[in-house]
Every structure is written in C-alpha cells, then in structure tokens.
Amino acid sequence: MPAAARPLLLALLGSPCRDGANSRLLSAFVQAAGEWEVVRCSLPELKILPCLGCRTCKQNQPCVQHDRMPKLFQLFERAQALVLAAPVYFYGFPAQTKAVIDRCLPLWYLESQLRARLRLKRPGYFISTCASQRRGEFEVIARETKAFFHTIGFQYTQSLLVPGLDGKQAAQRLNRALLHARTLGRQLQRRL
C-alpha cells in the first residue's frame, strides 16, 4: 500500500515503565498490525497537567493548562484506529494516564454536530496487565477505558487483560499474552 494511503493507528502507552509489560505488549500488537501507519506515544512522557475542574472548556474557551494536549487531540482526530496499553494502579490508571483522560473533558462540551463527526466508531483496543491473579482487578479500568474511548470517538472493540504478572509464572504468562497481542494486531490488519 502506498505510504500516503495508509490509515493511522495511534498506539498509546499508559505505563511510566518504558520497557515494562505493557510496552512489550503494545509493540507486539503494533508489529502484527502490519501496514497501518503507526504513531506511538508514551502518555507519561508527555507530562500532561491534570484537569483543574474549572469548566473553562464548557464556555468553549481554551484550557487553562498549557501543555501538549492539543497535539494529542489532533492525533485523536486523525487516527483511524487506537490501541491503549496501560497497567492497573490501585484499580485505576497510572496518574499520568488518568490526567490525559480527564483533560478530554472539552470533547464532552463540543457542539453536537462536531461530536457526531468524532463518534465515528473507529476501532479501539485495550491492553492491560496487573500483578494480582484476580480478573476483577480490571473492572474499574475497563469501564473507564470504555468511557474514554467513547469520549474521543472510538469503539471499545476488544481487550487483552492479563492478570498475574508477578511471581513465578509471570514470564510464562507474559509470553502467552504476547501471542494474544499479535493475534489482536493481525485482526486489525485484516480491517485494511
């Protein structure tokens, strides 16, 4: 496929660990997605400031926080598919990733027409890991991801939730999960 015709896959790393489990799973997914043009972005490295809850954005005014969030909004709009990989931190997201999600509040306040344009049901994949062996550990983060994807115009298409990445069996479990991540990436590749 000519480079100019390749649709954009936005790959978001939500872990502050550059070479951790989620980073590896994200790489496996992206590699298997083949011909998509990929923009990979580490959310913690963007150092996005937290939402102050001032509702300035509700008045259609620019956010009072000045950072690289507008760049992210541009990527959300350009992307044809999204994959987010983030670990469970106390049932939720790492703080740096939660800050990005909260800063999506202006998208709630968009004019309905604009909102309809954003809600294109583009595919969104979610990858997450945790130390505990209990699958219930993902309950909150998965719900939050659904709301996040919905807000920025993606459909929660499929998830890969990997518990038990601690202790003796961790390496084995991660290897199995890497295979699953590749399967999901190939599934996205078939959408081209």
Residue located via tokens 């997201």: 93
Q: Which of 8, 63, 75, 89 binds ligand FMN (CB under 6 A)?
A: 89
* Site residues (CB under 6 A) for ligand FMN, limited to 121-140: 129-132, 137
Q: How far is residue 65's CA from residue 82's CA, in Å, rounded to a whole number?
A: 25
Residues 11, 32: contact at Cβ < 8 Å? no
Nearer to ligand FMN, 152 or 165 (CB): 165
Nearer to ligand FMN, 7 or 20 (CB): 20
Signed CA dihedral, 141, 36, 31, 73: sign only? negative
Token pair of 153, please?
A: 């115009």
What secondary structure does DSSP assign to 168-185, as a single string?
Answer: TTHHHHHHHHHHHHHHHH
* Site residues (CB under 6 A) for ligand FMN, limited to 31-70: none
* Size, binding site for ligand FMN by CB under 6 A: 17
Provide, for the chain, the percentages of residues in helix, strand and coil under a 3-state DSSP scheme, each rounded to the nearest 5.
Answer: 45, 20, 35
The reply on whether position 5 binds ligand FMN by CB under 6 A is no
The reply on whether position 26 binds ligand FMN by CB under 6 A is no
Q: Which stretch binds ligand FMN (CB under 6 A): 20-28, 37-45, 56-64, 108-116?
A: 20-28
Shortest CB 130 distance to ligand FMN, Å: 3
Shortest CB 169 distance to ligand FMN, Å: 13
Q: Would you tell me the crossing angle of helices 21-32 and 170-189 to the nearest 10 degrees? A: 30
Shortest CB 67 distance to ligand FMN, Å: 22
Q: Which residues bind ligand FMN (CB under 6 A)?
A: 15, 17, 20-23, 87-91, 129-132, 137, 165
